Structure 1
Amino acid sequence: MSKKADIILSSNAVFTGVNSRPEPASIAIIGNKIAAIGSKEEISSYIGNDTQMHDYQDQLIMPGFHDFHLHVFPGSLELDSVSLLDAKSEEEAAEMVRQFADKRPEASWIIGFSWDNANWENKQLPTRASLDRVLPDRPVILSHIECHYAWVNSKALEVMGITRDTPNPPFGIVDKDENGELTGILYEKAMDLIFKGAYDFSKEKKLQMLKKFFSLTAEYGVTSVNDMYAPTSDFLDDYGLFDTLEKSGELSTRIHLLPALSADLERAKELRDTYSSDMLQFSGLKYFIDGVITGYTAFMLDPYNDKPETRGSSSVSPDIFKELVVNADRAGFRVRVHAIGDAGVRLALDAFQEAQNVNGVRDSRHTIEHIESIHPDDIDRFGQLGVIASMQPHHLALIDNKVYSARLGKERNKLTFAINTLKKAGAKLAFGTDFPVTSINPMLEIYRAVTRVDYSGSPENVWNKDERISLSEALKAYTYGPAYGTFREHKLGTIEPGKLADIIVLDRNLFEVPPEEILETKVSLTITDGRIVFEQGACNKKVVESK
């Protein structure tokens, strides 16, 4: 006689991720695992007196979303800060900052995210002067939408002791005008000069922010995330707080940790040994090899079209970078490299090739993040080297593609966000959001992957339409792809007997609605590790303690 299920889910549309279309099925969950899948009749023997029965008719049941690339602490901070995404001018953004500050009289720093001068009428970078007019007495730091440069006021510069004589840090720029005066824009590692003051939070404050973050992931059906090293990580990250939440039963999302790749591999080994549970585990090492195309800091093979005096640069010399990768590979670590420019992508591939040449070929699952621009000669190398393509489809709609056309020119722009080209060439895809660069909502990523609708939002405006992929491929890239990328495809990523019970229910069958409805889709139920952590309409109770 079969053991009785704790939960049974049924629907006419179950997308297991094994096949390419949903089918009618019931799923029996015992403890934190999937016990069986079959017809209602086949699963009926699992029904007991205490079994929770959920029949979702035609709603789509699928594996939980696995965000392969985000930043937990910066994202948690963003949820508690002013968003400037909707600002249409520098003046409007400054006024939004003033209004936010008025509501936070106790805040010593005013922190904001997501301003985008490409979305403003004059397209010009802002200056500290506009912030000084609305908030002269409190320091302000506002991260650009891509989080690779920041806008600050004079008070922030004063508090942190930054003057016109402050030297540029390695891979960073303290921007100045033609007279040598500070503009209030800080690029890349220069942001650290402000972060160390602005992001000095207590553990209690961080814990409060984290709980809000995990409530949101449950609501969006995100059952696993990869927490990537970010420019702010040195000041914000605190892995011990994840451990605290896990021990108290409040960790409703699986966390895969990816701290910075450095020459100090002993610390990485300690983290690998310390965090190894099913809910919280070390997953690899992250490195930034370049910046972003909008700020001319992405490393390009040829000069930028609209700024031919530069092609960006690598964050360190290629030789040093390759040595870091080879040493980490030798020690058994998987490495994930932020590389946006085509030269950055090539350098990352070269480093992975070097690791194979020196250490031998192994199942390393090294990964390149973003890949916004790629040279045709490097496309097949992903499949040849077994390198995973970690991509964020919604990024193509964050910035007006006219900006990319201006920076890259027509020919290079044909392979911007080349998702389908890489897939067809044998690269394994894994999707994420890069939150807080964009919303943590997976529906935005799925919609962009299948439509390629650009920044305008109009369905008629499609960017590189041949790079669209099917709905099934997009869902697999957001479930199985990240599971494979974290070496957990035997436990996560599909709905199969014996796997961990990370399952969600959407309020409609995505396979039966027009693409535009993807954006309207909500999550009805989220189950992580066999626990219902979110249920739509259930008195807004999103996190349930362990049974």
Structure 2
Amino acid sequence: MSIKKSVLWTIALVVLVFSSCAKTEKEAATLLIHGGTIYTVDSVQTKVEAVATKDSKILFAGSLSEAEAYKTEQTKIIDLKGKTMTPGLIEGHGHFMGLGYNELNLDLMNTTSYQEIVDAVALAVEKAKPGEWITGRGWHQSKWTEMPEETVNGFQTHGLLSSVSPENPVFLRHASGHAAFANAKAMEIAGLQVMAKEGIDGLEVEGGEVMRDDLGQPTGIFNERAMSLIAKHIPETTPEKDAKAFELAVAACHRNGITGFHDAGIGQETISLFEKMKLEGKMGVRIYAMLTGWDKELLKKWYAQGPMVDKDNLFTIRSVKLNCDGALGSRGAWLLDEYTDRPGHFGHETLPMEFVKETALNGLKYGFQVCAHAIGDRANKEILDRYEAAFTEMPNETNDNRYRIEHAQHLHPDDIPRFAELGVIPAMQAVHMSSDRPWAIDRLGEKRIKEGAYMWQALLQSGIPIVNGTDVPVEPLNPIASFYASVSRKTLQGTPEGGYEPEQKMTREQALRSYTLDAAYGAFEEDIKGSITPGKLADFTIYDQDLMTVAENKILETEIAMTIFNGEVVYEKGE
């Protein structure tokens, strides 16, 4: 054989060996899933028969016969047995540690009267040492079946609460997180009753309200920034308790099919905790975190070092959260016109708008997304104005910045098209409509409700995606409830017939996208997750029935059967 032919044969053999090795490596799936309906949220192929993964990535999605070519003796097989699978669900706006702590502290989410709160605190007092703080969250006076005889501005007063907890300071956050209820002992520690008696100005808080009775005494209700008068006296938590709350939050996500979580506002202590949990291999959910915007030193530090986009896709920081008004339930949402059920009151501007403009400019300058909390129509308008002014001032930095408004709950009709025009993403929690709509009409009146509240379809039709979620622990983490609210516009009790303002319903496809691909888009992560597409992360949610076709009145019966995170089963119902 000539030297030339020998060289050619050698080259051919090397190519054959390398191509054979590459083929073998490509075909070695670690997991093969089939046997049920698989919705991909991928526009190329919306449904597939099977999915093959290799370690943490999706290797193949398509027919079962083609998928089986990737199977080896080491491949784990999951037969769905008729169940349904989608991309892993993403909680688009929540509070991760609040979720964990809600499982450690008093959970008042399901209380239906003031008396139930008092009873829950009385039980906690029996277990507590004298002087020990009792904290909790979840009460909502507008959801109670009955109101106490004595109220001020539609809220209960502290008398009954204080009578069962004379030696224990109590601080119970409203479900919204924008108000709180304190007992006499807590107010005594803060010195507030002395202030009221002596007429000291310490009860006047910019951006908040200490509710008082006819004698000028605090009623125990602290709205918005006034909550800090009490909260600053609560002892700091411990590292052990933080770690426990974190682990409980991860487990809650897995039970609810949540594989990604947009954490709406964290400080340095939480950042350090998350980094520690990741280092210890406990980061079982992909967290997209927003820096808490009130901490100017924190922002200064991060502006200097720039965004942190995690190469492991577990913990990313590239956005800033601004709290710009309050909640509708506590009448803290900032409105253009007065509250229908509290004349002369317009809510609260909880953050100066000049700081919103400054942060919007800094976001463009340093590469951070800005996510501003706005519930009332004035807050939404003012923030859109500041975003627009920043975009105009720095036109060369406005390419794909994806600024967001968190909640966007009540909009002036003129502002609805501005979201798409400015490229501002509304992060809206559909379950809020289900919980709030029955009483929200009392706050806003029929005209404002119908023209501008929970305007999902109007926003989607304008050409902007919606990021869905629950705002946990404001609402339970359950994504099925938010999906149901999205497509039915009903309360979780199934009322009213046809739903509230039914023209604003999402289709089931839109609702699923809002929890998957559109939620990923809201975090600049649509290239790595949000759809079952080869090359993306192997995160999946499996349900015991097909929530895309099941009768509407059966949607809420859907349960999470399995959660797969990073290519591994992290939750299976019954195990």
Give the TM-score range, shorter chain. over 0.9
Please give the alpha-carbon distance, in whole angstroms, between the structure 2 residues aligned to 1:434 and 1:32: 28
Q: Percent identity of the aligned residues?
A: 30
Partner of 2:547: 510
Please give the alpha-carbon distance, in whole angstroms, between the structure 2 residues aligned to 1:213 and 1:201: 16
Please give the alpha-carbon distance, in whole angstroms, between the structure 2 residues aligned to 1:116 and 1:253: 29
Partner of 2:17: none
- Alpha-carbon distance change, 175 to 472 in structure 1, aligned in 2, over 3 angstroms: same
Partner of 2:160: 130
Matched, 1:259 2:259: no
Larger Rg: 2
1:390-409 matches, within 5 Å, as: 390-399=427-436, 401=438, 403-409=439-445
Matched, 1:203 2:239: yes
Please give the alpha-carbon distance, in whole angstroms, between the structure 2 residues aligned to 1:438 and 1:271: 34
Matched, 1:250 2:282: yes
Question: Is the CA contact (8 Å cut-off) linking 1:10 and 1:56 kept in structure 2?
Answer: yes
Matched, 1:151 2:151: no
Instruction: Kindly state the Cα deviation for residue 237 of structure 1 after the two structures are TM-superposed.
Output: 5.0
Instruction: Kindly state the Cα deviation for residue 461 of structure 1 after the two structures are TM-superposed.
Output: 6.4
Please give the alpha-carbon distance, in whole angstroms, between the structure 1 residues aligned to 2:84 and 2:270: 36
Please give the alpha-carbon distance, in whole angstroms, between the structure 2 residues aligned to 1:241 and 1:107: 28
The DSSP-based 3-state class of the residue aligned with 1:511 is coil
The DSSP-based 3-state class of the residue aligned with 2:228 is helix
Please give the alpha-carbon distance, in whole angstroms, between the structure 2 residues aligned to 1:270 and 1:326: 14
Question: Is the CA contact (8 Å cut-off) linking 2:485 and 2:492 kept in structure 1?
Answer: no
Please give the alpha-carbon distance, in whole angstroms, between the structure 1 residues aligned to 2:501 and 2:226: 34
2:572 to 512, 535, 541: 535
Give, as a single letter, the amino acid of the residue that structure 1 aligns with 2:445. Answer: G
1:493-504 matches, within 5 Å, as: 493-504=530-541
- Alpha-carbon distance change, 512 to 319 in structure 1, aligned in 2, over 3 angstroms: closer
**Residues 421-479 of structure 1, C-alpha deviations (whole Å, 9 max, x = no match):** 11111121111110000011100100000001136543526211111111111010000
- Alpha-carbon distance change, 461 to 102 in structure 1, aligned in 2, over 3 angstroms: farther
The DSSP-based 3-state class of the residue aligned with 2:176 is coil
Partner of 1:347: 382
Q: Which moved more, 1:182-191 or 1:243-252?
A: 243-252
Partner of 2:16: none
Please give the alpha-carbon distance, in whole angstroms, between the structure 2 residues aligned to 1:313 and 1:273: 31
Matched, 1:288 2:312: no
Instruction: Kindly state the Cα deviation for residue 111 of structure 1 after the two structures are TM-superposed.
Output: 1.3
1:430 to 453, 463, 467: 467
1:230-245 matches, within 5 Å, as: 237-245=269-277
Mark the runs of 5 or more structure 1 residues left unpaired by the alignment. 539-547
Please give the alpha-carbon distance, in whole angstroms, between the structure 2 residues aligned to 1:21 and 1:307: 52
Please give the alpha-carbon distance, in whole angstroms, between the structure 2 residues aligned to 1:44 and 1:455: 42
Matched, 1:319 2:354: yes
Please give the alpha-carbon distance, in whole angstroms, between the structure 1 residues aligned to 2:371 and 2:259: 21
Matched, 1:225 2:261: yes
Matched, 1:269 2:294: no
Partner of 1:387: 424
Partner of 2:82: 58
Please give the alpha-carbon distance, in whole angstroms, between the structure 2 residues aligned to 1:392 and 1:330: 29
Partner of 1:93: 117
Matched, 1:526 2:563: yes
**Residues 216-235 of structure 1, C-alpha deviations (whole Å, 9 max, x = no match):** 10111100001111xxx56x
Please give the alpha-carbon distance, in whole angstroms, between the structure 1 residues aligned to 2:253 and 2:286: 10
- Alpha-carbon distance change, 344 to 398 in structure 1, aligned in 2, over 3 angstroms: same
Please give the alpha-carbon distance, in whole angstroms, between the structure 2 residues aligned to 1:135 and 1:126: 16
Please give the alpha-carbon distance, in whole angstroms, between the structure 2 residues aligned to 1:271 and 1:31: 32
Matched, 1:469 2:506: yes
Give the TM-score normalised by structure 2.
Answer: 0.88
Instruction: Kindly state the Cα deviation for residue 173 of structure 1 after the two structures are TM-superposed.
Output: 1.6
Partner of 1:544: none
Matched, 1:175 2:211: yes
- Alpha-carbon distance change, 20 to 447 in structure 1, aligned in 2, over 3 angstroms: farther
Instruction: Kindly state the Cα deviation for residue 286 of structure 1 after the two structures are TM-superposed.
Output: 0.5
Matched, 1:302 2:337: yes
The DSSP-based 3-state class of the residue aligned with 1:276 is coil
Question: Is the CA contact (8 Å cut-off) linking 2:353 and 2:383 kept in structure 1?
Answer: no
Q: Which moved more, 1:187-196 or 1:140-149?
A: 187-196
Please give the alpha-carbon distance, in whole angstroms, between the structure 2 residues aligned to 1:536 and 1:249: 23
Question: Is the CA contact (8 Å cut-off) linking 2:481 and 2:492 kept in structure 1?
Answer: no
Matched, 1:83 2:83: no
**Residues 149-184 of structure 1, C-alpha deviations (whole Å, 9 max, x = no match):** 001101111223333233333312222112111111
Give, as a single letter, the amino acid of the residue that structure 2 aligns with 1:257. Answer: A
The DSSP-based 3-state class of the residue aligned with 1:34 is strand
Please give the alpha-carbon distance, in whole angstroms, between the structure 2 residues aligned to 1:299 and 1:3: 57
Please give the alpha-carbon distance, in whole angstroms, between the structure 1 residues aligned to 2:567 and 2:404: 30
Is the helix fraction higher in 1 or 2? Answer: 2
- Alpha-carbon distance change, 274 to 417 in structure 1, aligned in 2, over 3 angstroms: closer
Question: Is the CA contact (8 Å cut-off) linking 1:21 and 1:472 kept in structure 2?
Answer: no
Question: Is the CA contact (8 Å cut-off) linking 1:140 and 1:155 kept in structure 2?
Answer: yes
Please give the alpha-carbon distance, in whole angstroms, between the structure 2 residues aligned to 1:193 and 1:286: 22
Please give the alpha-carbon distance, in whole angstroms, between the structure 2 residues aligned to 1:352 and 1:323: 10
Instruction: Kindly state the Cα deviation for residue 142 of structure 1 after the two structures are TM-superposed.
Output: 0.9
Instruction: Kindly state the Cα deviation for residue 103 of structure 1 after the two structures are TM-superposed.
Output: 3.9
Mark the runs of 5 or more structure 2 residues left unpaired by the alignment. 1-22, 149-153
Partner of 2:136: 112
Give, as a single letter, the amino acid of the residue that structure 2 aligns with 1:268. Answer: W
Please give the alpha-carbon distance, in whole angstroms, between the structure 2 residues aligned to 1:289 and 1:516: 37
The DSSP-based 3-state class of the residue aligned with 1:97 is helix
Please give the alpha-carbon distance, in whole angstroms, between the structure 2 residues aligned to 1:211 and 1:84: 21
Q: Which moved more, 1:243-252 or 1:257-266?
A: 257-266
Q: Which moved more, 1:520-529 or 1:358-367?
A: 520-529
1:27-46 matches, within 5 Å, as: 27-46=51-70
Please give the alpha-carbon distance, in whole angstroms, between the structure 2 residues aligned to 1:271 and 1:494: 31
- Alpha-carbon distance change, 461 to 339 in structure 1, aligned in 2, over 3 angstroms: same
